[in-house]
Amino acid sequence: MKPALELRGVVKRLPSGARTLTIVDGIDLSVAPGEFVAILGPSGSGKSTLLGLMAGLDRPTAGEVFLDGQPLHSMDEDALALLRRRSVGFVFQSFQLLQNLTALENVLLPAELARLPEPRSRAEELLAAVGLAERGHHYPSQLSGGEQQRVALARAFAPKPAILLADEPTGNLDSATGAAVLDLMAELRERGGTTLVLVTHDAELAGRAHRKVFLRDGRVERDERAG
Amino acid sequence: MNPGFYLRTLARESRGARGRLTFFALCLATGVAAVVAVAGLGNGLAGGVRSQARQLLAADVTVEGLHAVPKPVLEAAGRRVETGELLELVTVVSVPPAVAGDLAEAISAVPQAPPHGSAGDLAEAISAVPQAPPHGSAGDLAEAISDGADGRRQPDLANEPGHSRLVELKVVTGRYPFYGTLVLSPERTLSELLTAETCVVAPDLLHRLEVPRDGTISIGGARFRIGGVIVAEPDRIAGALSIGPRVFLSREGYARTGLGGFGSRVVHRVLFKLPEGAGPEAAQALAERLKKATGDSSAYRVQTYVDARPELRQGIRRVERFLSLVALLSLLIGGVGVSQSVRAWIASRLDAIAVLRCLGMRPREVFGLYLGQTGLLALAGSLAGAAAGLLLLVLVPRLYAGFLPQGWVTPWQPMAVLRGLGMGVGVALLFSLPPLASVRRVPPARVLRRDAEPLPPSRATLLFAGLLLAGGLVGFAALQARSLRIGGLFAAGLLAAAAVLGLSAFGLSKALGRVPRLSVAWPLRSGLSNTGRPGTGVIGSIVALGLGVLVVLALQLVHTHLADQLVADLPQGAPTAFFLDVQPDQWPGVLEVLRSEGASGVDSVPVVMARLSAINGKDVEVIAARQSGQRSENRRWALTREQRLTYLDKLPRDNKVVEGKLWADPRPEVSLEAEFAKNLGAKVGSMLTFDLQGVPLTLLVSSLRTVDWRTFGINFFFVVEPGVLEDAPQNRLAAARLPKAKEQRIQDLLAQRYPNITVIVIREVLERVVKVVQRMGIAVRTLGGFAVLTGIVILAGAVSAGTVRRGRDAALLKTLGVTRAGVAAVFAVEYALIGLVAGALGTLGGYAIAWLVVTEGFEMPWRSPLLPGAVSVAGAVALTVLAGLGASARALRRRPLEALREE
């Protein structure tokens, strides 16, 4: 079966003052459709940068990235955007909700961008799924952190993405709320058969994944598969 | 994105835009208001001229010239066309001596008609006569007194001349006016009120001469009873530059004045009225017929109501062009503010933009979203501005009542509003394109790395934005000036000024940052360091504020130079009065009056009136008809005007021969003023043939000379060698310096003795010019004020855009134990420095531009008054501090912890 995501010899270097830092240093990785992969590592190990490369948010200095079989490294900004709107969902540590949109509108936006047939009912359905059916008209600033992350989850799943990329989704939440959010994410993933790549430094969180990839200094240190 | 989704997203994205909207709107609104008001004013005036063209001409077609319009021309009009004739001339009217002052009152109290012609008895009669004089005998009475008053009994009354005034005389034959209404008081027609013995006058003449409404005045050699007063005259624009009040006479009355003598400058005008319902084509056809009948002579000007009053329309267009550009300037300064506010706004939206990109929005979709929003904001701001502009149009006619014809400027001006909206939105988009372009370059990876800033735009993008901005600038300026050339010059000048201001501001703020500050008090130290590392907004605010100061100061300086130069600084020794049409036999008498009344610098030259008939044997009419191009109007005028020649042995001191030699050729010679020679197309060696009352005279151009016209001395385009013109019919032109206190008396005396002589006191004429200049000055400075206002709004905007930083600074200072007043002082120093830099640069620029305009444009000597400069620098500092502190009020109020927690 064709992998949902494939990285071949990916390198990312960034200028830092006069020097050039190598953040990602030759990573090969293949993620199967429906797989749940956790990427672990200490801070500065290149986890978040790798996630950006996987989504085409950033371009590799060298190497190739294939998402759903498509070569991200050779696509222009427009093509990347169109690919993202159809196939990729995001969840971030700092939620990244649009502050001037209500919860419902935040969820609605990607559904509309993806031109789903009934964006409104899809958004309402997802909000109900994350337990915020009654809070749709609230603005992000009127919601608690956990609630905001649940809205972000709903938004991420709105366009029915093939792959979901999550960057420390519970990093800004207390452990109980974090666990609840994680349960939700797992549940939504199960329901849609979505591939999930989760970046975290929390080993307990990573325990739920099918596979754990450990990074150190921009390289894959270990690649463990559960059971 | 489909349109529905685009609009929905647009609407959602504009939430929370209120604060931004206010600033954005203010930036644009002031400029748009100025543009709309000026355009509305211009449209109103031009429309007024158009719609009242017939009234302004008082006819469908007119023919005018300096000679009576020949019969064949009148006949060429055809039987169905009505005609009326007018004569127009400038002359002096005066109050006949004895009717002036107390006597006039005495007369009205006189109970009985005095015995005719006996002055001796009269004096007694006045005190004892028991009956009022029958109406109309006042004139006779006055004559009786001046003819025979006994010096011993009535010394003062007899010798004291009444007041006199320069007036514009109009002599009416037939129906007048054909269009518009001449409103008179009492309410009768002109022909009913005018007889051979009466005149109709403008009310201000009564006031100036201190005559009662039924009084008597002298015009030329005759007396006229005032039969009525003018309430409204259709073909005269109130307040426009006129030489004096209007006086109407009948043809018979005019014959009595004896003013039609040789050499007086009388404009003959025939009015033609087409049958009812005739359109512009009929008027044009009639004009063609009339032109043909005059033999296409340029001695007569044929006008139709379609092209009525070209001088008026041209004047309006010129004023409008100037004001339009000043208005555009404040709009463009507003553009700087728009650019800043968009930059600040985009900076605050970078995270959201990155999220949108993450969710799969393409760069151009994000750009479109923000461009659309900018457009909407611009439209809102422009609408507010247009409303304010219309409000101004309501106020303007009230402010300039008596200057603008009533009802011409109406507040509802859809075209002006459209222009304002178009320019407002256009300028806003133009100026926000560069900052908006960065939206396309926000890296989506910013969602993961907060420090991922927008990539710098490519060189091609910068070039494109720059070209677009420059092109747009030229386009808008050309639109406002209705001339690509002027628009281009304006844009180039503005860009240069902005570049110089920007670079100087940058350099100065860098220099301020290097001032050693460890030894100065800490508010100053802190202010210096803040100004020394300017944020993005500071240079922009300095440029905007500096431009505003520059504009206002330059306008003010040019204006004071014009006004002062006109009134106060008549050059030393320059004549203050001119005496026209002095007949040769009158000159000794005039000289005696001038001498006995203490006039100095009396100068007089003979004047011979002639027409130029040929240059080097070529008919002047033919040459005139062939002129085309930019200066053709000047050339035609130079060739065909009534020429005034004088003869002198030595040239006046203010003349300088620049080519050829004076009086060195055996042939009869003429010396030409150089500029005028250019218009004639004559050179040294050309032969000019004149027509002196039918006698041809050919003269060799032997020299060209320049004239310093600023001395106001008597000067001629043509100076002829002595010994040629002595026997030609001639009169004298004289000039003299009159003691200020004697000005009126000399005028009055001459008016009484030599009514044909026209005295023009330069001071009065200049004062009238100054009044018009001053009124213009108010309008111009009001518009300039818009520019400063916009500059201040921008500064306030730049300051509040930095509220977060300021809030943090304030919080830190407060945590360190600084009081709120202390923090305010730190901020105040910073703003004062900004104001100082902007004020100083703008002031320098203002002086530079005013100097250029005054010395090069008006060729006047430059004085550099320091006060306006000091005021403008101080004003800039004060306004900047006020606006800055006002805008940082919120930052000052916040509690330290609130601000610090946001870190």
Complex ipTM: 0.85
The residue with greater pLDDT, B730 or A11, is A11
Q: How far apart are alpha carbons B195 and B228 in whole angstroms?
A: 11
Query: Phi and psi at residue A217, in whole multiples of 5°?
Result: 50, 40
Assigned token pair, B806: 């300021």
* Residue B521 CB partners (closer than 8 Å, separation 6+): none
Closest-approach residue (CA) in chain B for A55:
B358
Q: Which of A189-203, B501-515, B622-636, B837-851 has the lowest mean pLDDT?
A: B622-636
Reported as a single tens digit per residue, the pLDDT across B857-878 is: 767 778 878 888 899 899 889 9
CB contact under 8 A, A52 and B359: no
- Contacts A48 to B, Cβ<8 Å: 448-449
Assigned token pair, B463: 């070039």
Assigned token pair, B576: 């203050």
Closest CB to B357 among A81, A100, A167: A81
Closest CB to A98 among B1, B352, B364: B352
Reported as a single tens digit per residue, the pLDDT across A43-73 is: 888 888 899 899 888 889 999 999 988 999 8
CB contact under 8 A, A100 and B1: no
E strands of B532-686, at which residues?
577-582, 600-615, 618-619, 642-647, 655-660, 669-673
Q: How far apart are alpha carbons B876 and B610 in whole angstroms?
A: 59
How many CB contacts within 8 angstroms connect chain A with chain B? 83
* pLDDT value of position B143: 32
- Contacts B5 to A, Cβ<8 Å: 112-113
CB contact under 8 A, A85 and B363: no
Q: Regarding beta strands B267-273 and B577-582, do their DSSP bridges make them parallel or antiparallel, or are they unpaired? A: unpaired
> Please, which pLDDT band fits residue B324 given cuts at 50, 70 and 90?
confident
* pLDDT value of position B901: 56
Superfamily classification of domain A32-56+83-225 = P-loop containing nucleotide triphosphate hydrolases (3.40.50.300)
CB contact under 8 A, B359 and A48: no
* pLDDT value of position B572: 63
- Contacts B359 to A, Cβ<8 Å: 84-85, 90, 109-110, 113, 155
Closest CB to A100 among B12, B363, B449: B12
Q: How far apart are alpha carbons B830 and B836 in whole angstroms?
A: 10
* Residue B81 CB partners (closer than 8 Å, separation 6+): B272, B273, B274, B275, B286
Residues B404-432, buried b or exposed e (16+ Cβ, 10 A)? bbeebbebebeebbebbbebbbbbbbbbb
Q: Is the pLDDT of residue A127 over 90?
A: yes
Q: How far apart are alpha carbons B555 and B325 in whole angstroms?
A: 13
Query: Can you list the alpha helix ranges (DSSP code H) found in A93-157?
Result: 103-113, 119-129, 145-157
Q: How far apart are alpha carbons A25 and B11 in whole angstroms?
A: 44
Residue range B892-902: mean pLDDT, rounded: 63
Q: Rounded to two decimals, what is the model's pTM?
A: 0.67
Reported as a single tens digit per residue, the pLDDT across B572-588 is: 667 788 888 888 888 99
Closest-approach residue (CA) in chain B for A76:
B362
With pLDDT > 70 as the criterion, what percentage of chain A qualifies? 100
CB contact under 8 A, A52 and B448: yes
Closest CB to A96 among B8, B15, B355: B355
CB contact under 8 A, B362 and A98: no
Q: Looking at CA atoms only, how far is residue A153 from chain B in angstroms?
A: 13
> Please, which pLDDT band fits residue A124 given cuts at 50, 70 and 90?
very high
Provide the edge-to-edge strand list for the sheet that holds A88-91: A88-91, A163-167, A195-200, A36-40, A211-216, A219-225
* Highest mean pLDDT: which range of A122-126, A188-192, B181-185: A122-126
- Contacts A85 to B, Cβ<8 Å: 359-361
- B535 burial level (CB within 10 Å; 0-12, 13-18, 19+): middle
- For residue A126, the SS3 value is helix
The residue with greater pLDDT, B774 or B178, is B178
Q: How far apart are alpha carbons B251 and B256 in whole angstroms?
A: 9
What is the domain partition of chain A in residue ranges?
32-56+83-225
Q: Is the pLDDT of residue B325 over 60?
A: yes
* Longest distance between any two alpha carbons in chain A, whole Å: 53
* Highest mean pLDDT: which range of A102-116, B338-352, B394-408, B638-652: A102-116
Reported as a single tens digit per residue, the pLDDT across B150-162 is: 333 333 334 455 6
Closest-approach residue (CA) in chain B for A47:
B448
- Contacts B18 to A, Cβ<8 Å: none
Q: Looking at CA atoms only, how far is residue B418 from chain A in angstroms?
A: 33
Helix (H) or strand (E) holding B32: helix B18-51
What amino acid is encoded at B38 in this protein?
Answer: V
- Contacts A92 to B, Cβ<8 Å: 447-448
Residue from B439, B447, B451, B458 to probe the interface with A (highest A Cβ count within 10 Å): B447
* Highest mean pLDDT: which range of A7-16, B38-47, B459-468: A7-16
C-alpha distance from residue B235 to each of B50, B54, B68, B238, B867 (Å): 13, 9, 21, 10, 44
Closest-approach residue (CA) in chain A for B14:
A100
Sign of CA dihedral B302, B306, B307, B309: positive
- For residue B81, the SS3 value is coil
> Please, which pLDDT band fits residue B387 given cuts at 50, 70 and 90?
very high
Q: Looking at CA atoms only, how far is residue A114 from chain B in angstroms?
A: 9
Closest-approach residue (CA) in chain B for A49:
B448
Q: How far apart are alpha carbons B488 and B498 in whole angstroms?
A: 15
- Contacts A100 to B, Cβ<8 Å: 12-13, 15-16, 352
> Please, which pLDDT band fits residue B101 given cuts at 50, 70 and 90?
very low
Residue range B763-778: mean pLDDT, rounded: 67
Q: Is the pLDDT of residue B112 over 70?
A: no
CB contact under 8 A, A57 and B444: yes
Q: Regarding beta strands A195-200 and A163-167, do their DSSP bridges make them parallel or antiparallel, or are they unpaired? A: parallel
> Please, which pLDDT band fits residue A198 given cuts at 50, 70 and 90?
very high
> Please, which pLDDT band fits residue B396 given cuts at 50, 70 and 90?
confident
* pLDDT value of position B55: 74
Residues B462-500, buried b or exposed e (16+ Cβ, 10 A)? eeebeeebeebbbbbbbbbbeeeebbbebbeebeebbeb
* pLDDT value of position A138: 92
Residue range B293-320: mean pLDDT, rounded: 73
Mean of per-residue pLDDT scores for chain B:
78
* Highest mean pLDDT: which range of B107-121, B254-268, B362-376: B362-376
- Residues 5 through 24 of chain B touching chain A, CB cutoff 8 Å: 5, 8-9, 12-13, 15-16
Q: Is the pLDDT of residue A27 over 80?
A: yes
CB contact under 8 A, B362 and A82: yes
Q: Looking at CA atoms only, how far is residue A211 from chain B in angstroms?
A: 23
Whether B113 and chain A come into contact, CB under 8 Å, resolves to no
Question: Which residue carries 């047939």 as its tokens?
Answer: A117
CB contact under 8 A, B360 and A55: no
* Highest mean pLDDT: which range of B310-319, B342-351, B612-621, B767-776: B612-621
With pLDDT > 90 as the criterion, what percentage of chain B qualifies? 9
Q: Looking at CA atoms only, how far is residue A227 from chain B in angstroms?
A: 32
- Contacts A49 to B, Cβ<8 Å: 448-449
* pLDDT value of position B275: 86
* pLDDT value of position B803: 61
Closest CB to A81 among B12, B13, B361: B361
Reported as a single tens digit per residue, the pLDDT across B269-285 is: 888 888 887 777 888 88
- Contacts A155 to B, Cβ<8 Å: 359
- Contacts A109 to B, Cβ<8 Å: 9, 359
Residues B660 and B704 sit within 8 Å (Cβ to Cβ): yes
